[in-house]
A and B are shown apart, each in its own frame.
Chain A
């Protein structure tokens, strides 16, 4: 069964460093998402991506964040200059269409900013 895959599973970085989290969505899916979950808190929407552009983003997704689909398979989340408060589990998800609510999630990438 096809799955969303994410790398790395855990990354530790120093404050101010750039981080790239990678995701390979399910191949026939058209919509891609990043969510994050700070330890002990709710899952929060960051951004959605369709047709090679951002379709929606939250207030969290400021200028420090960017997403890219550099080729036909990868979907990346870049944090330019990490802050302590960026420490969280970052989930990538994909879906076949909008408004269905059925998102297929990766296992998450845990980011620790020191």
Chain B
């Protein structure tokens, strides 16, 4: 079964500290993994996808097929990073994304 697990509902770190939001997935083939972000009172938007191998707003995420993980990392958190972060998977289906439950990230000043 396709599944995305984000074990932390809430993550609170101080500004300037490193951040790692965990995402594990269950999928039998080669998935595409994504991180979406929702800032307060804004819409869901794509943050990054593993196939791009890019860094957006200082965030990176590496697909680890051995550990079936796609953790989101940032070395130095900023207050504006406070948001809800969702990990999502695109697998067998071309049309739907499978979502994790989301992690609320709070950056304390």
CB within 8 Å of B: which residues of A?
3-4, 31, 33, 41-45, 48, 50, 55-56, 58, 91, 93, 98-99, 101-108
Contacts and interface: CB of A to CB of B under 8 A. Distances in A.
B34 interface: yes
Interface of B: 32, 34, 42-46, 49, 86, 88, 90, 93-102
Contacts of A56: 93-96
Contacts of B102: 42-43
A99 B91 CA distance: 9
From A43, A45, A58, residue with most partner B Cβ within 10 Å = A43
B47 to A, nearest CB: 11
Nearest to A108: B43
A105 B39 CA distance: 13
